[in-house]
């Protein structure tokens, strides 16, 4: 696969301090520049910025996938297989509450992948996944 360019994503959070601790100490993202309204993080080689936004009424939506309710929207990173397993174990040891516990989809089939979902303290949904064979990332 070609080398990917880092993406930039900015997300709203209603408690900047609580989310700063979550991304820095739970997900182990290095903190970059910041102000009193936003914080940059190195999100697995990508630029994630949390921006303060007052809390609004929840507009939660899910789609059924594999009999599970997948939150929409969500974001995350595709990790190497072993890194995914280690990361999932670390999240469990830090008592992260999963929306969808780590599991394997399409086991033994094209596109075999591990996936897990959880939320940050402001309710932003994250999915981390890994492919047994990264060349099958876009396989049909």
The model's pLDDT over 48-98, given as tens digits with 9 standing for 90+, comes to 999 999 988 777 889 999 889 999 999 999 999 999 999 999 999 999 999
pLDDT at res. 138: 87
Residue 4: alpha-carbon gap to chain centroid: 18
Of 67 and 2, the structure prediction assigns the larger pLDDT to: 67
In the predicted model, what is the mean pLDDT of residues 100-125? 95
CA nearest neighbour of 111 among 79, 88, 81, 134: 134
The model's pLDDT over 127-140, given as tens digits with 9 standing for 90+, comes to 999 999 999 998 88
Q: What does the alpha-carbon distance between residue 126 and residue 25 come to, in Å, rounded to a whole number?
A: 16
Mean pLDDT over the full length of the chain: 94
Of 3.30.310.220, 3.10.180.10, 3.40.50.300, 3.10.450.50, the CATH number of 8-52+70-136 is 3.10.180.10
Give strand ranges (E) for 7-139. Answer: 8-13, 30-34, 38-43, 46-52, 61-65, 68-72, 98-105, 113-119, 125-131
Give me the count of residues in the chain: 140
Q: If you write DSSP's letter for every residue of 91-106 in order, what string do you get? A: HHHTT--EEEEEEEES
Percent of the chain with pLDDT over 90: 81
The model's pLDDT over 3-31, given as tens digits with 9 standing for 90+, comes to 889 999 999 999 999 999 999 999 999 99
């Amino acid at each position: 696969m070609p080398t990917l360019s880092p993406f930039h994503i900015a997300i709203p959070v209603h408690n900047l301090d609580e989310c700063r601790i979550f991304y820095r100490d739970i997900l182990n993202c290095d903190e970059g520049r910041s102000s009193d309204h936003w914080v940059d993080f190195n999100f697995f080689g990508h630029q994630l910025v949390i921006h303060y936004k007052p809390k609004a009424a929840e507009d939660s939506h899910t789609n059924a996938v594999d009999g599970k309710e997948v939150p929409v929207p969500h974001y995350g990173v595709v990790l190497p297989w072993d890194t995914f397993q280690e990361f999932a174990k670390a999240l469990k040891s830090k008592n992260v509450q999963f929306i969808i516990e780590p599991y394997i989809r399409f086991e033994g089939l094209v596109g075999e992948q591990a996936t897990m979902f959880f939320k940050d303290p402001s309710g932003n949904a994250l999915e981390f996944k890994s492919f047994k064979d990264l060349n099958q990332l876009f396989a049909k």
